[in-house]
Amino acid sequence: MSDLVQFPGAGCVIEYLMGNEPHIAWVMEEQKGRLRLLHENRKEASLAASRLLPWSGPAYGAARSREEITGILAGHRERRAALAAQVDAVGLWEMAQGEMRSASAAWFAELLEDAPDADAVAACGRALLACKSHFKFQPPLFEIYDAQTVEVRRAAEEAARQREALVAGGAAWLRTLCDAAMGRRPRPDPADAPADPVGERLRHMILTRITDPESTDEEGLWKQVSKGLPDDPFLPLLLAQAWGLVPAHYDLWLDRAGFESGTAWEGRHAGECAAIADAVGSGSMPPLSAVQFISIDSPATRDIDDAFHIEGARGGGWDVTVALACPALFWDFGGALDTAVAWRGTSLYLPEGVSHMMPVSLSEGAFSLFAGKRRPAVLVRLHVAEDGSAGEGDFSVGTVCLAANLDYAGCEEALDGAENRAAPYAGELRLAHAMSQARLDWRVRQGAVIIDKPELEISLEGEGEDTVVHVGEAPQAPRAMQLVSELMILANAALAQWAVARDVPLLYRTQDIAVPRESAGVWRSAADIARVVRGFAAASLDTQPRPHAGIGLPAYAPFSSPIRRYADLVNEAQLLHVMETGAPRWNAPEMEGIRSRLALRLDAMGQVQRFRPRYWKYLYMQQQSALHGGECIWKAEIAEENDSWVSVNLPEVQVVLRARKQIFGEKAHPGQEFMVRLARISPLRAEAFIAEACAV
């Protein structure tokens, strides 16, 4: 017979919920719906009778000592806990679901035994309360969830359990990693990391935030596990490095850009590359040009995409022919290889190596203009007048076989009369240099603003944490580099002029800003450069032929590097299609679609190309400071100053830093030279603080 009590009074054992857990107590007194209770710990409490769980009993009578009461409560608590551990709540749900919508704890207890006592009913009720995925307590009954609801709640409970485990184990591990990253303790052993799945989820969260620092994926959970850690945008990277998830000097900008470095990606397109290479080597190539072309690049360059030939014109000036690599002649736009190359957008030239836009078999193989090899090319013929102005370009497609691949240093020496590989072409080089100077002067008269800073060479020695950075001025070949630069600008300007005259949609580089007349010229000092570029906006990709103020041209359409830049490849293809069919391949709206997609990729690639060399420069500065015991002194030139701040350029590394004016003195002025001591150099943040400055 059941010993449950419907209306508990003095001497009755009851249970109630507090903190989502059932608590057992003894009724000392009942008065007007309120109960005075005694707990096992001998503490008293007052409780409304409405809060009792619906399994009161048994009743013992009021005449009991406190010692007896606490013993009775302890016995019932232990028995109920033991019985509850034996209750299969899910099994009860399986028996009831579909048959009942709700039932009492006593009804469920009767499924397990005949005439269950108060302890058995309470134990069953406790088990049902704990099984929140299958039951909902709606006093005095338990609602029985349907199978679909149970599945949803089970998944939610599992997710909540994993979150709790992640916060409990993950937060402590992240604090350990953070301390190691800040140098407060040695790096922990990765084997001490939380076991999976907590460890795997932590790794995923950290790596996700390296790639996308603004990620909202599990943002609330990330805030919980990283609570109390520094509010640092580079925190995920620092944690990952301390854990060993990414190597030292990890290129997070490349990661964020989604650019796959190396050559592994090329294997997915091996068949298409082989077919292109076969087509380039077949007998269906354009007619062979009789013109003798030469190229000029750095000695390590293997993706040679331009060459030239120049002659003095009879009436004065120069007749120039520029040969440009012609991948567009064989390119399958919209194919798998094109999709991959378009996503890459441009080749990256970083201190740690080159990552080509196209597969190496094409960029350094089938399309590269190697001397002695027949290659398809777009030929641009122009006449440049003695004053540097240029006539309209003439475009054709042909096969070229270069006479020589020369390098900048050799050409510079040949211009001075040296006997070397470039010496046989010294006459042509002198013509090209004279033309380039006339052309440069002409562009300056058109308002061009030309920044002429020495090229830096950043090289890396060693690997990982042992990497040593070397920074120095690259071998200077100003005349050879200028003539190549002017030839490329000349060819790109010719295409823009051709397209504007025929209303052919192209991709343009534009910088449509007003430049003060006095800013035109060639500028070399830090102060001059800071003055003329103040207020300059960066050039952008456009489909309208607007001016490019920095270059000094009314329109500029890049196509001189089609194996290195996707915009150039698109423009080359547009030119070829018009030449072949008389109509453009892409109309204006289609070209705008290409531009909008490509602009996003080029912005991401531009960040990599800017930030990564800058990282190595600051690491070089940090290493030099460490070598000199923190007392490394750097030459600096004031670029700008105002009442509060001074900006200086460090010419050795071409880094601009800013500091309070009082460090330099009230009489500091642009162009003044100082020696500065740096402190707190951070390569990752591209920060260095000027601790001291002394005028030279």
Give the residue from 607, 575, 650 showing the smallest Cα distance to 377: 575
Q: Has residue 618 been placed in a domain?
A: no
At 619 the three-state DSSP class reads: helix
297 close to 465: Cβ distance less than 8 angstroms: no
Residues in the chain: 696
Structure tokens that stand for 58 in this block? 């048994």
Residues 609, 450: Cα–Cα separation, whole Å: 20
If asked whether residues 501 and 600 sit together in one domain, one would say yes
- pLDDT reported for residue 283: 67
If asked whether residues 381 and 490 sit together in one domain, one would say yes
What CATH number corresponds to the domain at position 640?
2.40.50.140
If asked whether residues 537 and 666 sit together in one domain, one would say no
Residues with pLDDT less than 70, the chain: 1, 283
Q: Has residue 45 been placed in a domain?
A: yes
The three-point CA angle 221-222-223 to 5° equals 90
Q: What are phi and psi of 297, to 5 degrees?
A: -145, 180
Residues 25, 284: Cα–Cα separation, whole Å: 98
Largest distance between two CA atoms of the chain: 131
If asked whether residues 339 and 224 sit together in one domain, one would say no
Last residue of a domain, one of 543, 578, 612: 612
Q: Has residue 588 been placed in a domain?
A: yes
Mean per-residue pLDDT over the chain, rounded: 93
- For residue 68, the Cα-to-chain-centroid distance in whole angstroms is 70
Q: Has residue 5 been placed in a domain?
A: no
Residues 6+ apart with CB under 8 A from 483: 296, 429, 432, 433, 435, 436
Last residue of a domain, one of 114, 145, 176: 145
If asked whether residues 486 and 432 sit together in one domain, one would say yes
Q: Has residue 330 been placed in a domain?
A: yes
DSSP letter, residue 536: P
- For residue 536, the Cα-to-chain-centroid distance in whole angstroms is 26
358 close to 269: Cβ distance less than 8 angstroms: no
Please tell me the pTM assigned to this model. 0.82
If asked whether residues 288 and 337 sit together in one domain, one would say yes
Residues 64, 258: Cα–Cα separation, whole Å: 76
If asked whether residues 278 and 390 sit together in one domain, one would say yes
Structure tokens that stand for 336 in this block? 């798998």
Q: Has residue 2 been placed in a domain?
A: no
Partnered with residue 46 across adjacent β-strands are 36
If asked whether residues 169 and 31 sit together in one domain, one would say no
If asked whether residues 343 and 473 sit together in one domain, one would say yes
If asked whether residues 165 and 20 sit together in one domain, one would say no
Give the residue from 438, 424, 426, 404 showing the smallest Cα distance to 480: 426
Last residue of a domain, one of 145, 176, 211: 145
Q: Has residue 1 been placed in a domain?
A: no
If asked whether residues 485 and 604 sit together in one domain, one would say yes
Task: Report the number of distinct structural domains present in the chain.
Answer: 4
Q: What is the CA radius of gyration of the chain?
A: 39
If asked whether residues 224 and 182 sit together in one domain, one would say yes
Q: Has residue 197 been placed in a domain?
A: yes
Domain residues for 639?
628-695
